[in-house]
């Protein structure tokens, strides 16, 4: 417990130090000016895919739709929360539910995007080099739809449990962005290591490896 507190204090000092590099006004306008066109572009691409039957039925676009939805969720919740923090110099409203939602979006949706980027890199190899694996409806259900459905369930079930229900005590510091940066499950020796290896490191490594392999 003392080690966790020491680590938390170190994180807080580090986070507070990084806060001085840019003024609040500069950070606010940079984020706002980039977030608005980013949301508009994401919604436009999503709209184009969904209204066009040919694009909508193309399996190459299905993962793209999921990644766009995860990204839009982050853009519409995570960024506005941070902008609100910049304006008030604290988390508003200052209550645990705000922090939990912020963590879920900032960590869960971001890591979900990383996982689906890795799946996209893997599925690209199937589409290009093993198209016969998805040549029938049954094969598409097994190879294409089922893995996506499983990953969606995994991401939401895992992060809802980890952030909202995991039996540990969160520390909420409303004077810092993200309410103290990390939820308590990340300090658990099992949940924390699993999250780091299975949800962050491995998908990132696989995405890079598969993308490089595709080039060569």
Helix (H) or strand (E) holding 6: helix 2-18
CATH number at residue 91: 1.20.1070.10
CA 124 – CA 130 distance, rounded (Å): 9
Instruction: Encode pLDDT of 177-193 as tens digits.
Output: 899 878 999 999 999 99
> Are residues 118 and 210 in contact, defined by beta-carbon separation less than 8 angstroms?
yes
Mean pLDDT score of the chain, rounded to an integer? 89
pLDDT for the residue numbered 6: 42
Name the nearest CA neighbour of 105 among 156, 147, 32, 62. 156
The structure tokens listed for 99 are 């922090």
Containing domain of residue 36, as a range? 2-215
Instruction: Encode pLDDT of 120-130 as tens digits.
Output: 999 999 999 99
CA 96 – CA 16 distance, rounded (Å): 20
pLDDT for the residue numbered 3: 43
Task: Find the distance separating the first CA and the last CA of the chain, reported in whole Å.
Answer: 48
> Are residues 143 and 126 in contact, defined by beta-carbon separation less than 8 angstroms?
yes
> Are residues 119 and 148 in contact, defined by beta-carbon separation less than 8 angstroms?
yes
Name the nearest CA neighbour of 100 among 50, 166, 14. 166
Residue 30 burial (10 A CB sphere; 0-12, 13-18, 19+):
exposed
> Are residues 97 and 170 in contact, defined by beta-carbon separation less than 8 angstroms?
no
pLDDT for the residue numbered 190: 96
The structure tokens listed for 144 are 């294409």
Does the pLDDT value for residue 157 go beyond 60?
Answer: yes
3-state secondary structure of 54: helix
pLDDT band at 168 (very low <50, low <70, confident <90, very high): very high
pLDDT band at 16 (very low <50, low <70, confident <90, very high): very low
pLDDT for the residue numbered 18: 47
Q: How many domains does the chain have?
A: 1
Q: What percent of the chain has pLDDT over 90?
A: 81
CA 180 – CA 67 distance, rounded (Å): 27
pTM: 0.86
Whether the CA torsion 192, 194, 197, 200 is positive or negative: it is negative
pLDDT for the residue numbered 19: 52
pLDDT for the residue numbered 27: 87
| Cβ-Cβ contacts under 8 Å for 168 (sequence gap 6 or more) | 184, 185, 187, 188
Instruction: Encode pLDDT of 31-87 as tens digits.
Output: 999 999 999 999 999 999 999 999 999 999 999 999 999 999 999 999 999 999 999
């Amino acid at each position: 417990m003392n080690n966790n507190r020491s680590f938390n204090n170190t994180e807080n000092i580090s986070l507070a130090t990084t806060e001085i590099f840019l003024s609040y006004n500069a950070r606010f306008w940079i984020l706002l000016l980039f977030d608005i066109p980013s949301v508009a572009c994401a919604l436009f691409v999503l709209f184009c895919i969904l209204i066009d039957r040919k694009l909508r039925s193309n399996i190459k676009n299905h993962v793209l739709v999921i990644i766009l939805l995860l990204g839009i969720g982050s853009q519409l919740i995570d960024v506005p929360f941070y902008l609100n923090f910049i304006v008030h110099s604290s988390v508003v409203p200052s209550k645990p539910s705000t922090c939990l939602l912020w963590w879920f979006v900032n960590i869960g949706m971001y890591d979900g995007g990383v996982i689906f980027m890795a799946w996209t890199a893997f599925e690209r190899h199937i589409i290009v080099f093993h198209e016969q694996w998805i040549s029938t409806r049954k094969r598409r259900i097994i190879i294409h739809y089922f893995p996506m459905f499983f990953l969606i369930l995994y991401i939401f079930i895992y992060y809802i449990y980890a952030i909202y229900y995991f039996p540990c005590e969160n520390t909420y510091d409303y004077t810092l962005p993200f309410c103290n940066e990390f939820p308590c499950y990340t300090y658990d020796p099992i949940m924390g290591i699993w999250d780091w290896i299975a949800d962050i490191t491995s998908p990132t490594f696989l995405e890079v490896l598969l993308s490089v392999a595709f080039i060569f």
